[in-house]
Amino acid sequence: MNALQQHLLDSYRAGRHGEPAPPAPGTHDLAALRAARDHHRFESVLAGRPATARLRLAVRRWRHPGAC
């Protein structure tokens, strides 16, 4: 059973019991990714590492080894 089929089944069951329907699959994915990113940045700050642009800096070091 895939996520869409499970959602349809849950919506049907909620309707039969007079409860609100669950959110559609993928509704909160972006919020979950943002929360994970924020947590990672927070942990970086606590550890004394830069919180942003880490990937950009790594690519720059790889492309220009003597510049950074």
pLDDT digits over 8-50, tens only? 999 999 999 999 999 988 889 999 999 998 998 899 889 988 7
Nearest-angstrom CA–CA distance, 65 and 32: 35
Q: Is residue 24 part of a domain?
A: yes
Domain housing 45: 3-63
**pLDDT tens per residue, range 21-32:** 999 888 899 999
How far is 53 from 68, CA to CA, in rounded Å?
14
Inter-residue contact 62 to 55 (CB < 8 Å) = no
**Residue 27 placed within a domain:** yes
For residue 19, being part of any structural domain is answered with yes
Tell me the whole-structure pTM to 2 decimals: 0.54
Residue 68 in domain: no
Q: Which residues contact 53 (CB under 8 A, 6 or more apart)?
A: none
